Structures are given as C-alpha cells and as structure tokens.
Amino acid sequence: MAKDLQAAHAARLPENRNRALTALTDARVGLGRVGASMPTEEVLKFAYAHARARDAVHADFDVETLANALEAIGHRSVSVRSAAPDRMTYLRRPDLGRRLADDDRERLDALQTEGVDIGIVVADGLSATAVHVNAVPFLAALLPLLHSAGLTVGPVTFVQNARVAVGDEIGALLRARLVLVLIGERPGLSSADSLGVYLTHGPLPGRSDAERNCISNIREGGLVPPLAARKAMWLVNESLRRQLSGVALKEEEATLIGAAAEG
C-alpha cells in the first residue's frame, strides 16, 4: 500500500512542477505529453493563439473610436496614412510604411506652424489589436505627466499601415523636439496585444534604430500602461535634458523602481 502511494505521488510530481511554471509565465512551458504527442487541450490552445496572432496582424485600425476616446480626455488628434495603400502592400513593402502618403505629408506640414516639445504618433504596426486595447490607457496616464512638466504636446497623429520610422517624418513636420511612437508589436503566441513605445530625440527622416529608446510589452499581462507611462516620462525628461536618445541614453533602473513604488 505504501509503495502504491509513493508511486502515485511520484507520477504527480511533473504535473505539480508544470503548474508552478505556468503560474509564472504566459510562455508555452510544461505542456505535458500523451505518448509521443502533446495533450489535445494544448494543441487546441496553440491553434487558438496562432489564430489570434493572425487576426491581430490583419485587424482593421479603428481610428474613429480611438480619436473619440482621446477627445473625451481632452486631447485632439489627426489621422493620416502611410505610403502603403493597403494592408497587403504594407506587409510586403516595409519601406512604404516608413513614410507618409504625399497628400497627408502636405496636410500635416500645414497643420503646425509653431514647434512643440512632444509629438505623439499612434500607429497600427503589426497589431491594431494592441493599439485598441492599450494606447488610450497609456496616453491617459502619460499626458497628465507631460502637462505637469510644462511640456507642449502636438496633436496625436494616427497613422494607418505604419512602421516605427514614420514618426521621424511626422516629428519633423510638427517641429517636435522629441517624438513618441506608439505601435502594435509583432504578435507572439503568448501575446497578440503587446504595445511598443519608441522615443526619438530630434526626429528627422533617416534616423536609425540605434537612435531610439523602446519600451515594449505594454499590456495588462506584461508592463501595465500606468507604469509604462512612468518609464516613458523618465525617458522623456532625460532625453530632453541630455538632448539625445537611443544607445547613449540608458535607463537607470533604481529611478524607475522608485517611480513604480511612488505610483
């Protein structure tokens, strides 16, 4: 009898370890086995996650709803398009997503006659779903911090079928000292709703990725929007003070941890 109990306990040990691992991460760990295959439940979960990721890439960008939500918290916006005329072209031609359509470039250039401290761009990127879920909560936390610091903010610019670098052109047209690009990150099988924020000081067409700072995995299951806003505010302050961004601007973890504790 005692041997039977010991054998049953030993059989449960892998299951218990798997539960401990899965409680700590959304990653696909401890999936278990049925013979030489995965359990049917895990196969179905994988198929569902893959479908969510595909849907996020092809989801329509609901600019109107986002613009209304921004207006409700007292901030204006403008909508433009990249040079990619449709979603399939955007996916096949990343270069077109990095610049504005010609007519929208002219319209945006005429919109702002005086410079601003901060330009904010909201782009669908590779997951409009991430933007729909996280952009407004992030901005609702960030905008009061920017205003409290006495920084001027241009209209939030929504860009359809856009890549990160489109923010350089928009920031230059708005004559912004610094641009923040909120963009849907490439969906993974554990998260289809992850938002990224890219900060570039002195935005101009031709800036390299090494000249940007990035805050990634902004979502409820990752870095929650209010804390991401505090991290972004620290980077904004330091970028403007030092007049640089990218690899030359390192995050000081103690400062960020302190900001999180205060929040």
C-alpha span between 76 and 50 (Å, rounded): 36
Kindly report the length of the chain.
263
- CA 15 vs CA 19, 22, 35: distances in Å: 6, 11, 15
* Listed residue (239, 237, 187) closest to 216, CA to CA: 187
Q: Which two tokens stand for residue 213?
A: 């700072």
Q: Contact, 203 vs 121, CB < 8 A?
A: no
Q: Contact, 209 vs 242, CB < 8 A?
A: no
* Listed residue (72, 229, 65, 179) closest to 131, CA to CA: 65
122 is an annotated ligand-binding site residue: no
Q: Is 60 left (phi over 0), alpha (psi -120 to 50) or beta?
A: beta
- Show the 3-state SS of 50-86: HHHHHHHHHCCCCHHHHHHHHHHCCCCEEEEEECCCC
The maximal CA–CA distance of the chain, rounded, in angstroms, is 85
185 is an annotated ligand-binding site residue: yes
220 is an annotated ligand-binding site residue: no
Q: Residue ranges for the binding site?
A: 164, 185, 214
Annotated binding site for adenosylcob(III)alamin: 164, 185, 214
